[in-house]
A and B are shown apart, each in its own frame.
Chain A
């Protein structure tokens, strides 16, 4: 079972580190990261394994969104099923 964490916003030092730290704290295993900085805009999509997540996914979403607010970023946590369902028959 996987979730997608997407981070969009102004580039700053330590975004990847802090998002990964929250993942580690709650036992979400990062399996893939795609990241780019275009004209100061930071965009990252992270695939995490949530099979052994220590808290409910909804709570991880709350934590990430709090982190996003504190850093002036938009962070979305979404279960992979929404992408699989929407884009694949």
Chain B
């Protein structure tokens, strides 16, 4: 028999504490769409995506209603397009348009995979794709792009860092009329993963099956509420409360993923054990850290509290699902988290502290608005710093920064919706240009030699 208090707890988690499934993401392989003629490749890509994902949104909405749990996003990730377009001459932007049209036809809000993996060097197709990113992101509305520039096994491609610094600036400049939004759909990774369900960095890795369902869960509000009920708990108890809560959240993710995969006739991949915030009140990771006992996120102690949170989320979640994957951990996107926005505005949170935080949590410098005059080399060096943390610690790190063209500290960029709004954050003005212009490959660390 179902216990009455379990029922009420579940309803409270969903209605009052913003528990939701953040995304059901269908990964689709486009390797069978490769063609030397780009027009033919485009029509194959469009056909495959619209055929495989035709029921994704309908099934997602059905599950939402039956279980009474909101599923915020239904999305698609595809094979890195640099691989699909490698056989074609010329710019791959047409493929971005085909992806955009397919995403619109099936009703998903974002599609990821306009991507290249260049951790150890570039092929001609990789270069063509990277150079086309500003145009692709300014001419489409749903396409997301990512570039992997480093890994623990390969080291860091410093040339790719330099190029991506420029590409991020150009993407922001190309979309200046929409608050530089293009740059919010572009992520630079170190140690990117093949089964990430979260945008903007999702792509469908080459070792994955033809089609798969991955799920990303959410629920920072639930964790904060659980901690608020135990104000006198010591830090061990805090960890246990987070574990218990993460277990429950992840179980819902597993249920939704398995149900969606059965109904769509597609294998179930992984649950991403994530705490993903939204700008909505009561859905903030920063507020969990404050509930643990910090005056404001960014205060001394933030890194330690975040490390505890991230670890407890994984320990609770791993028991709750059949396969764990993706990025798994707490996300700290500044513009998408009301507590982070407030901390950045008040000056409690700076980029250097965020960088330290990324060493102990899920991703990296995420949704951070930079002054409009930040040079391409400075962005490149920020990417290199972040990639070094990922490379040395064998974890995924990423940079998604948005240069606010024509704006400076004290102003902000506002995109609304899940992307939120971000205050322009101060950046160290010392020049890294000589370091970045050296180019070449930062060698992989000693501990990459595991065989």
Q: Which residues of A contact B (CB under 8 A)?
A: 4, 6, 8, 34, 45, 47, 56-58, 61-62, 74, 76-87, 89
Residue from A47, A57, A61, A85 in contact with B252 in the complex, judged by beta carbons closer than 8 Å: A85
Contact A57 B66, beta carbon cutoff 8 Å: yes
Compute how far the CA of A82 lies from the CA of B7 in the bound complex, rounded to whole angstroms.
Answer: 9
Please, which residue of chain A has its CB at the minimum distance from the CB of B248?
Answer: A86
A-B contact count (CB 8 A): 67
Beyond A76-B11, A86-B248, 19 additional contacts (C-beta under 8 Å) are: A6-B7, A8-B11, A45-B8, A56-B62, A58-B66, A77-B65, A78-B10, A78-B67, A79-B66, A79-B67, A82-B10, A82-B68, A82-B69, A82-B255, A84-B2, A85-B251, A87-B6, A87-B9, A89-B319
Taking CB atoms, residues of chain B closer than 8 Å to A80 are 2
Residue from A34, A56, A81 in contact with B255 in the complex, judged by beta carbons closer than 8 Å: A81
Compute how far the CA of A82 lies from the CA of B254 in the bound complex, rounded to whole angstroms.
Answer: 10
Measured CB to CB, the closest approach of chain A to B253, in angstroms, equals: 10
Taking CB atoms, residues of chain B closer than 8 Å to A85 are 251-252, 254-255
Q: With contacts A47-B2, A83-B2, A83-B10 known, is A61 near B248, CB below 8 A?
A: no
Which one of A8, A79, A85, A89 has the greatest number of beta carbons of chain B within 10 Å? A85
Contact B67 A81, beta carbon cutoff 8 Å: yes
Taking CB atoms, residues of chain A closer than 8 Å to B6 are 83, 86-87
Contact B65 A45, beta carbon cutoff 8 Å: no
Taking CB atoms, residues of chain A closer than 8 Å to B451 are none
Compute how far the CA of A76 lies from the CA of B68 in the bound complex, rounded to whole angstroms.
Answer: 7
Taking CB atoms, residues of chain B closer than 8 Å to A76 are 11, 15, 68
Please, which residue of chain B has its CB at the minimum distance from the CB of A80?
Answer: B2
Compute how far the CA of A73 lies from the CA of B11 in the bound complex, rounded to whole angstroms.
Answer: 14
Compute how far the CA of A77 lies from the CA of B248 in the bound complex, rounded to whole angstroms.
Answer: 19
Contact A86 B252, beta carbon cutoff 8 Å: yes
B3 within 8 A of partner (CB): yes
Residue from A47, A57, A81, A86 in contact with B65 in the complex, judged by beta carbons closer than 8 Å: A57
Please, which residue of chain B has its CB at the minimum distance from the CB of A89?
Answer: B319
Q: With contacts A76-B68, A79-B67 known, is A86 near B10, CB below 8 A?
A: yes
Taking CB atoms, residues of chain B closer than 8 Å to A82 are 10, 67-69, 252, 255
